[in-house]
Structure 1
Amino acid sequence: MSAHILLVDDEPGLREAVQAYLEDSGFLVRVASNAREAWQLLEQITPDLVITDVMMPQVSGFEFLKQMRTDDRFVSLPVVFLTAKGMTSDRIAGYQAGCDGYLSKPFDPDELVAIVENLLIRRNVQANSNAANAAEITDLAGQLAEIKALLKQKPSIVTTPAPIKIEFTPREQSVLELVVEGLMNKEIAKRLGTTIRNVEKYVSRLFSKTGTGSRTELVRYALQHGLVT
């Protein structure tokens, strides 16, 4: 599916030329001649990226961007500034306002397309990463809920098989006990004064040594075989 771009510029000639070039490059483009009109379009359909002129009457590009960044719907929306100003101070002001790219007029349209494509790729990578993290958190939350349920059954669980002997390092034993307490990796890392990555390594070793594949299985195994007190 083609990316959707909102183009905002008060110069009709430039607006039409940029729109045509972007559409020829495979993008879907909606246009606005000022920030107020652009805001109305934003509230109808959220684009994948915004390209806006800085020097516009009534509401400038800076003000338009600040308005977007104070709205949760558009706080992470990629924004590219187009402006006749080329001073370093203006570029700094643009980045400080929260823009993601900056092109001074006149500009090479191929450079604009390159910037747009790069920003969209970065946005997709971030979105996929966030989705993966959300799925991982949801899965971990489910495991923690099962662990808490197991802990409530602890007296009956630990009376089954006799304790077995597995050689754990002191740090592995500490991590195991905290996992059984229902702590997440971030909390374990903070408690032990180490990194989350190290905790992940210790948990992986615990899985390997106990023949388990999840935190829930690990807790059940530890309780059943008396691996924690």
Structure 2
Amino acid sequence: MPGQLLLVDDEPGLREAVQAYLEDSGFTVDVASNARDGLELAHQKLPDLVITDIMMPQVDGYQFLKQLRDDPQLKSLPVVFLTARGMTADRIQGYTAGVDAYLSKPFDPDELVAIVSNLLEKQAALRTASETDDTHNIADMARQIAEIRALLTQRGAIAQSPSPIKIDFTPREQSVLELVVDGLMNKEIARRLETSVRNVEKYVSRLFSKTGTNSRTELVRFALEHGLTR
């Protein structure tokens, strides 16, 4: 199952070889040579999965994993450790820290591809289950949005003039925001914009981050209060 990956490793030779093999296997791969740059790239690209070395200068793999798990946008990302430390105690430490898979160097590239594919398939299954739950909640969500619109209209809270705040949305983020406010769920938005549900999830996550909201209802309320929709 092709997906967008982030590879973080401070060894240039290994990094380039793994990137090339993964790309030959159909994946899109962004790379970073250290955890700091990796975290920045993760925020920019919102990858489907992260592959990282453990033994890196300044910020090691365990610290990097903690940064990912502590970040609301990134905490659910599958993470694979690539490391020369392959003792049982090391593996236990990795899994205890929350890593999804642990592969010791040297490793067979085909095994890495199999691990990555398996984790992405599990993520896809979880998203499908989530979409099913969303479908069951569409009526309730529509009711909540209708109530928010009515409440804000009654209080005169919907901005009738330029928004008092300025948020730098990309054109696609703005399009997704408009559709969320209209009450569409991710699957419907993906169909309308001719993109994948995963991409819509990324845009909605970015909207949450930029507006400081944590749910679709909060996002709709925030957008209406500040006149962020046309």
Regarding TM over 0.5, the answer is yes
Show the counterpart of 2:58: 58
Change (3 A) 1:142 1:30: closer
Q: Report the residue type matching 2:35 in the other structure.
A: A
1:153-172 CA-to-partner distances (Å, cap 9, x unmatched) read: xxxxxxxxxxxxxxxxxxxx
User: CA separation in 2, counterparts of 1:110 and 1:2?
Assistant: 14
SS in 2 for 1:115: helix
Q: CA deviation at 1:142?
A: 7.1
Count of matched residue positions in the alignment of Structure 1 and Structure 2? 144
Kindly report the root-mean-square deviation, in angstroms, between the aligned alpha carbons of the 2 structures.
Answer: 1.8
Please say if 1:118 is aligned against 2:127: no
In structure 1, the gaps of 5 or more residues are 144-229
**What is the aligned-residue identity percentage?**
62
Q: CA deviation at 1:131?
A: 1.2
Show the counterpart of 1:68: 68
Show the counterpart of 1:129: 129
Change (3 A) 1:140 1:44: closer
Show the counterpart of 1:164: none
Show the counterpart of 1:3: 3
- Runs in 1 of length 4+ with deviation above 4 angstroms? 140-143
SS in 2 for 1:72: coil
Q: Scaled by the length of structure 1, what TM-score is found? A: 0.60
1:173-228 CA-to-partner distances (Å, cap 9, x unmatched) read: xxxxxxxxxxxxxxxxxxxxxxxxxxxxxxxxxxxxxxxxxxxxxxxxxxxxxxxx
Max radius of gyration: which structure?
A: 1
Show the counterpart of 2:19: 19
Q: Scaled by the length of structure 2, what TM-score is found? A: 0.60
Show the counterpart of 1:40: 40
Q: Which moved further from structure 2: 57-66 or 89-98? A: 89-98
Q: CA deviation at 1:137?
A: 2.6
Q: CA deviation at 1:138?
A: 3.1
Q: Report the residue type matching 1:72 in the other structure.
A: P
In structure 2, the gaps of 5 or more residues are 144-230
Q: CA deviation at 1:121?
A: 0.3
